[in-house]
Copies of this chain bind each other. A is one copy, B any other.
Amino acid sequence: MAYRKTPAEISRLEAARERLIGCATEVVADVGWSQASVNAVADAAGIAAGSVYQHFPSKAALAVEVFRRAAGREVEVLGEVLGGAGDPVERLSRGVDVFARRALENRGLAYALLAAPAEPAVGAERLDFRRRYRALFAEVVREGVAAGQLPPQNAEITAAALTGAIGEVLVDPLAAADENATQQLLADLTAAALRCAGAPTA
């Protein structure tokens, strides 16, 4: 008869896996993908490198999980803001602002998620998540057009443009870590995004 894990063992393993993902996320935020070796993550978690492999078959698999968790949180927050209270243009404006603000508050991790050179498996995740951001933006742009707040346009194209624009605008500020310029950057980025969607400018 095959050995089966007891409920207590399973929940201990799951807790260890969660803790490992948390540690790995911090390491990635601190030193980037390339330096976030299995050894570095194991050190941060206070376990042996071999124990990491009990949970993840490779560095790439761990990196993908770190990416999915962190990017998934951002998709969730953006979705809540874009689908929340207010008219479509207000929600779009707030969505861009909240996304950028969260990125600038956690620069290391945001840079890793948005731009930092990473292994191909992470690159594939990035393409996937950008599609999810696009779907969220497309919905609010369609609502804005339907409400007559935005001019007629291809909402999918605008949504892709917004997703690409926001990511690219943040690349250098995230890498440079200049805290002073944050307010102006958020204002300029939101303005560019609203113009891109054809919202009336102030």
Interface residues, chain A, with chain B CB atoms under 8 Å away: 33-34, 115-124, 126-127, 130-131, 134, 151, 153-154, 157-158, 160-169, 171-172, 184-185, 188-189, 191-193, 195-198, 201
In the A-B complex, the 8 residue pairs with the smallest Cβ-Cβ separation, listed nearest first, are A164-B168, A117-B123, A164-B164, A161-B165, A117-B120, A196-B196, A154-B188, A157-B188
Given the interface pairs A168-B130, A171-B127, A188-B153, the reply to whether A196 lies near B161 with Cβ below 8 Å is yes
Q: Which among A130, A191, A196 has the greatest number of chain B C-beta atoms within 10 A?
A: A196
Please give, as numbers and ranges, the residues of chain B lying within 8 Å of A168 by CB-CB distance: 130, 134, 160-161, 163-165, 167
Q: How distant is A94 from chain B, measured CB to nearest CB, in Å? A: 18
Quick check: B192 and A196 within 8 Å, CB to CB?
A: yes
**A-B CB contact pairs (8 Å), 11 listed:** A115-B127, A117-B121, A117-B123, A134-B168, A157-B192, A160-B165, A160-B171, A161-B169, A164-B165, A165-B196, A195-B196
Distance between A189 CB and nearest chain B CB, rounded to angstroms: 6
CA distance A197 to B201 in the complex (A): 12
Residue of B nearest to A193 (CB): B161
